[in-house]
Structure 1
Amino acid sequence: MGGNTLGFVDILFKCVQLGQGSGGVGTPCKDDLAASIPGRLTKVSREYNQMLATLHERAPHAKILAVGYPTVIPKDTSKCRYNDLQQFASITRGDLDWLRQDVLEPLNKAIEKSAGAHNAASFIDLYDSSQNHSVCDAGKWVEGIMDHNYRPALVHPNANGHRNAADHVASAILNAIAPN
């Protein structure tokens, strides 16, 4: 629920395809896909709300933790190298900016808004704590298309990214079960 509902992997690979031969210039992915993103985000919100409502219905006393996504793309995309498989392959910097601002950040906002609409749900923000640890940063917590051994990673957290998420989730669990 979230990135999969949005179709992020499909978007990512379409951006790789569209960026090939661009020399890293322009926004071929944005130009092709931007019109579909609002509908995709609406679908994420609708399905996330349905999921949270169902969870609350089936476990009315449960405390639900909705975990957001970490920083995947840096604010300064000049850190990202075009045609580097350990980063974003052939996705242009312009498309990386678009993906960050118009796809990934709104995805986190949609999840946060859904969690905020349900009294039993809390949002865990991984985005802020993972700044400067994007795919294009030296101390990255998220791998690129391929990891450092050129194994498929498909833009997923590495051990450091999972450690950051675990720390935040553990803290949220302890806060949720602490007596008031």
Structure 2
Amino acid sequence: MASVRTRLTVLGSAVALAACAQVPAQLAGAAPAAAAASYDWVALGDSYTAGVIPAAGDVFEIPRDGCERTDQSYPQVIDRDLGSLIDLTNVSCGAATIEDVTFRAQEPIGRHLPPLSEDPDYPFPPVPPQSEAVDSGTDVITVGVGGNTLGFADILFQCLQLGSGSGGVGTPCKDDLADSIPGRLAKVSRDYGQMLTVLHERAPHAKILAVGYPTVVPEDTSKCRYNDWEQFASITQGDLDWLRRDVMEPLNKVIEKSAGTHSATDFVDLYNSSRNHSVCDAGKWVEGVFTRFPDQVAAVHPNARGHRNAADHVASAILNAISVD
């Protein structure tokens, strides 16, 4: 079976050839000119879309707005892969919740990593709700969001604190937080459905691609070393099993279910393709609490390889969407 990247190359070539075939004969000998992009794509989402961490590239924001978008994040990778076929508007923003995408102006993070180093342009003014970048001319919308509405970063931080001094034994985080997870997931479901409704209203002819989250915690948590800060630091193996089974996997299921109940919306699964590339795997696509380089906080985010994998799958979904269109 052809790889995702091979399919992307073939599909991209086919679309490009089809576009060339439509060029009027009288222009064939004319000097090359910048062609207008065929499809308008708007990328929405949180830090798993924006990139944010140094291992996902340099911050390229122009103008700087504090959202910490990076040049190796999957929207930027796809933009380079597909060239003039797609006109990208990337308004993804680190720390965004579903409400920040739908209707609420967001206070951007606006700090270089690590957090104790002030960004020289800080404080940044609020950025508009991401949905405002979408309009009736939008052809494709990708959205990767939900983790901050769930409170995943806060859950991780509490698990770090609760696991400290435990010796890696037990499930102190699960014992403290498990009862709150169903309510958190229910809020994600409500907010996600509202977001998809708003996006459809703003762009009634657009295809929406709901992008899920990659594998963060491996199925075999014995790979994860207690007190290894390049992995999950002081989170116990028992709590890591709980995080995978009762937090991250259900989050993806909620997103997939929401996509399935809205017309013109598809789910892009990143979880299965990244199963062997968790934080605790040798070929990791998601960094741990810190990267291996000194003073670089990663806070459990995809690195450039993780974004490359996301780019392969999201680009394939985009090409399928526009070929159907």
Would you call these one fold, judging by a TM-score over 0.5? yes
Show the counterpart of 2:307. 162
How many residue pairs align between the two structures? 180
The answer to whether the aligner puts 1:152 opposite 2:297 as a matched pair is yes
Task: Give 2:280's aligned residue.
Answer: 136
Distance between the aligned counterparts of 1:121 and 1:48, measured in 2? 12
Greater radius of gyration (CA): 2
Residue in structure 2 matched with residue 16 of structure 1 by the alignment: 160
Q: CA deviation at 1:163?
A: 0.1
By how many angstroms is 1:148 displaced?
1.5
Q: How does 1:22-61 map to 2 (within 5 A)?
A: 22-61=166-205
TM-score under structure 1 normalisation? 0.98
Cα drift, residue 119 of structure 1 = 1.2
SS of structure 2 residue aligned to 1:65: strand
In 1, distance between residues paired with 2:306 and 2:177? 28
Q: Which residue does the alignment assign to 2:137?
A: none
* Deviations 1:11-40 (CA, angstroms, capped at 9, x unpaired): 000000000000000000000000000000
> What fraction of aligned residue pairs are identical, expressed as a percent?
78
Q: Of residues 201, 208, 221 in structure 2, which corresponds to 1:64?
A: 208
**Partners of 1:31 and 1:176 in 2: CA distance:** 44
Kindly report structure 1 stretches of 4+ aligned residues shifted beyond 2 Å: none
What is the identity, as a one-letter code, of the residue corresponding to 1:154? A
Deviation at 1:120, TM superposition (A): 1.2
Normalised by the length of structure 2, the TM-score is: 0.55
State the partner residue of 1:95.
239
Letter in 1 for 2:310: A
SS at match of 1:178: helix
> 1:34-87 CA deviation, whole Å, 9 max, x = no partner?
000000000001001000010001111110000000000000000000001100
**Structure 2 unaligned blocks of 5 or more:** 1-144
Alpha-carbon displacement from aligned partner over 1:144-171 (angstroms, at most 9, x marks no partner): 0011114100110001000000110100
Which protein is richer in helix relative to its size?
A: 1
